[in-house]
Amino acid sequence: MKRDLSNRPDDIHGTGVGKPLVVVAAAALAVLCPTSALAAADAATDFVLNTFSFLIWGVLVMWMCAGFTMLEAGSVRTKNASVICLKNIGLYSIAGLAFYFIGYNLMYTDVGQFAGTLKLMYGSSADEIALLAEQADAEAAVVKAGYSTMSDWFFQMVFVATTASIVSGAIAERVKLWTFFAFTLLLTGVIYPIVGAWTWGGGWLSEMGFQDFAGSTIVHSTGGWAALAGIYVIGARLHKFRPDGTVKPTPPSNVVAVTLGVFILWMGWFGFNGGSQLAVAGASDAVAMSIVLVNTTLGGAAGVIVAIAVSRPLFGRVDLLAGLNGAIAGLVAVTAGPDFVDHYWAVLIGGVGGLVCAAAMRLMETLKLDDVVGAVPAHLVAGIWGTLAVCIAAGGDFLVQLTGIVAIGAFVFVTSFVVWKALDLLIGVRVSARVEGLGQDVAELGIEAYPEFMLMPDEDDMRAAGQ
């Protein structure tokens, strides 16, 4: 509800001299604080607000790693939950180091048509270092940049960690730990930064006018393509697809954890999309950020409802996992262009995202592609739809958007496929049948996530062991 201030009296205290006092105060301020001084103060304030925004939104995006951990650990069987926890804290650490040593420069520094520089490491600017050394004349140059150098690095880094998390869940329960870490290093240090250079870094797709506000394609589809390549190379879990063509049900070991993980991801998405406004220094930024957060909420909500609605005809039941993935798909779909002012488009875009995600989950089973958490349907398929949907609500050019989808998809899938194949030849990508049967927690880590529970052997594993 808006307050009407048009009839507010000039004299709010009833003295009858409100307007003269205001005039006198304004005149005094003009004399004591010249325009240049006021402008400098405003610039410094903008610098602080923008920097603080990057840091706070970045922390929210980092919190999505906790959401992915809960989602994946609850989706796998209990015998593999500990490895999931180790994989997720490991991938975040690898992403941070890789993006510091090579990734950021490759994505943002002196970018040409296809990539930036191979210069190692990234750090604070010379002006910022001088400011910390109490050189007063450096402040103006620092403030002029608009935000702290490393606050920008931090905000960009947590996005690449999200990309790696998408891959983790799709190939869970059968990929070797160190093989996955090796792939994560190349994904976060090279593959993702090159995609980012083409787009956000100002490369050839950016010059064409490709639009992706917060990463439906750049982040989510990139992770989805990399995951799909891994699924092809690594193969399905043992006995997931039976000889008679039926699909063996592998329900989540902890539905509560999966649901909590999705809520954490949804919360983190406000930083993901809201922070991508990249500024909070004025009224227009504040309004735009509010619009983005509302559209993010509506897109995710519509994805949930539509996915639940279509789950019965697709899966023969009202499917909880379809609804949870529908939330993620709706959020992914609206991420490419959440800055439109007609909010009903968010409902449409998110709802279609939930629909295509549920349909893709069913298609993956038909094609015998084993995606443990539904990452490919939720991130890749919904990401493609969301990137095209920019043409509907956010003024995108269809041919340009399609070019970006195809180019990024071809590059990421082919490169990831080659990397997975090379890792398979060098160190192997898949754990042995024995390790997969026992579970990676005990076989590789020597620790169980739920030691007080008795692990019931899988019937198919026992049958295979007896052959």
Q: How many CB atoms lie within 10 A of CB 241?
A: 17
24 in any annotated domain:
no
Q: Is the pTM of the predicted complex or chain greater than 0.75?
A: yes
Query: Tell me, what's the pLDDT at 300?
Result: 97
Query: Tell me, what's the pLDDT at 7?
Result: 35
First to last CA, the chain: 72
The pair of structure tokens assigned to 148 is 């702290």
Which domain, by its residues, includes 241?
43-113+123-445
- How much is the mean pLDDT over the chain? 88
Q: Can you tell me the distance from the alpha carbon of 178 to that of 176, in angstroms, rounded to the nearest whole number?
A: 6
28 in any annotated domain:
no
34 in any annotated domain:
no
Band the pLDDT of 2: cuts 50, 70, 90: very low
Q: Can you tell me the distance from the alpha carbon of 228 to that of 369, in angstroms, rounded to the nearest whole number?
A: 9
176 in any annotated domain:
yes
Q: How does pLDDT run across 425-445, given as a tens digit for each residue?
A: 999 999 999 999 889 988 888
Query: Tell me, what's the pLDDT at 249?
Result: 84
Under 8 Å between Cβ of 348 and 302:
yes
60 in any annotated domain:
yes
Q: By mean pLDDT, which of 28-42, 214-228, 341-355, 401-415 is the weakest?
A: 28-42
Higher per-residue confidence, 242 vs 418: 418
Residue with tokens 């070019």: 403
300 in any annotated domain:
yes
Q: How many domains does the chain contain in total?
A: 1
22 in any annotated domain:
no
Under 8 Å between Cβ of 303 and 349:
no
Give the residue among 172, 189, 185 at the shortest CA–CA distance from 230. 172
Query: Tell me, what's the pLDDT at 299?
Result: 97
267 in any annotated domain:
yes
Residue 68: alpha-carbon gap to chain centroid: 10
SS3 7: coil
SS3 content of the chain, % helix, strand, coil (to 5): 70, 0, 30
Q: What is the DSSP letter of 458?
A: P
CATH code of the domain covering residue 414? 1.10.3430.10
Under 8 Å between Cβ of 380 and 329:
no
Give the residue among 365, 115, 404, 103 at the shortest CA–CA distance from 246. 365
Q: How does pLDDT run across 41-88, given as a tens digit for each residue?
A: 588 889 999 999 999 999 999 999 999 999 999 999 999 999 999 999
Band the pLDDT of 11: cuts 50, 70, 90: very low
Give the residue among 188, 163, 193, 169 at the shortest CA–CA distance from 87. 169
Q: How does pLDDT run across 278-323, given as a tens digit for each residue?
A: 888 888 999 999 999 999 999 999 999 999 999 999 988 999 999 9
Residue 4 one-letter amino acid:
D
Query: Tell me, what's the pLDDT at 29?
Result: 37
Tell me how far apart the 2 most distant CA atoms of the chain are, in Å.
98
Band the pLDDT of 38: cuts 50, 70, 90: low
427 burial level (CB within 10 Å; 0-12, 13-18, 19+): exposed
Over 90: is that where the pLDDT of 28 sits? no
For the chain, count helices (H), then strands (E).
Answer: 21, 0
What is the C-alpha radius of gyration for the chain, rounded to an integer number of angstroms?
25
Q: How does pLDDT run across 76-121, given as a tens digit for each residue?
A: 999 999 999 999 999 999 999 999 999 999 999 999 889 998 889 9
